[in-house]
Chain A
Amino acid sequence: QQQVKQSPQSLIVQKGGISIINCAYENTAFDYFPWYQQFPGKGPALLIAIRPDVSEKKEGRFTISFNKSAKQFSLHIMDSQPGDSATYFCAASPPGYSTLTFGKGTMLLVSP
């Protein structure tokens, strides 16, 4: 029940296309959903996060869509660029909890 299932494992998108990464969870106590971006050899960086009181959050080309009834959330990268090529991790946590539950990651490659 603590798992966060992330898909796909890897994704190839053409430059200018939309990259979509999905995550699903079971624990209805989760109420904080961040996404991290990790470049090779670097630590993950917090990209964007959402709470379930909103269905969508947008920051530049990155958008989180949240579906509380389906217990799913997704990351959309609009106008994908080669510089977006990285591994993306979704995560979730209940309120006041000390740890995050991470998905297994999605390796995104944006072809020029």
Chain B
Amino acid sequence: SQTIHQWPATLVQPVGSPLSLECTVEGTSNPNLYWYRQAAGRGLQLLFYSVGIGQISSEVPQNLSASRPQDRQFILSSKKLLLSDSGFYLCAWSMGLLYNEQFFGPGTRLTVL
């Protein structure tokens, strides 16, 4: 069966510091991968998605970037965090088949102080 991991689970970072969040998927190959952000009590904002290694689509221009160095690894990065980057970051995967059945990871709670 497939499993999705995210780490760290929680992170507190100062404004202006760099960020690296990691997501890995087990038990499948060539998945579509997604990064979402969820502000407190709010909906799901799609940040990036990838349909293959090295392929990244950005949905929202901001100071975040994503990379997919391996088939089942997706990384969210920032060179300098802003206060507004605080939130709950969710990674998701899908098989990229006809119907976009997405499965979410446990999330990373990021607080920027």
Contact, CB under 8 Å: A93 / B109? no
Smallest CB-CB separation from A31: which chain B residue? B99
B 7-36 to A, binary, CB cutoff 8 A, 1 in contact else 0: 000000000000000000000000010100
Question: How many positions in chain A have a CB within 8 Å of any CB in the partner chain?
Answer: 24
Selected interface stretch from B42-50, B62-70, B75-83: B42-50
Q: Which residues of B contact A45 (CB under 8 A)?
A: 104
Nearest-neighbour CB distance to chain B for A39, whole angstroms, equals 11
Residues of B within 8 A of A43 (CB): 90, 92, 104-107
B: interface residue count bin: 20 to 34
Question: Does A95 sit at the interface, judged by CB under 8 A?
Answer: yes
CB distance from B90 to the nearest CB of A (A): 5
Set of chain A residues within 8 Å of B106, measured between Cβ atoms: 42-43
* CB of B3 closer than 8 Å to a CB of A: no
Supposing A44-B90, A98-B32 touch, asked if A89 and B43 sit within 8 A by C-beta, the answer is yes
Interface of B toward A, CB cutoff 8 Å: 32, 34, 41-44, 46, 49, 51, 57, 59, 90, 92, 96, 98-107, 109
Give A residues with C-beta under 8 Å from B: 32, 34, 36, 41-46, 49, 51, 89, 93, 95-100, 102-105, 107
Mind listing 10 A-B residue pairs with CB under 8 Å?
A32-B100, A32-B101, A34-B101, A46-B101, A46-B103, A49-B101, A51-B99, A98-B32, A100-B100, A105-B42
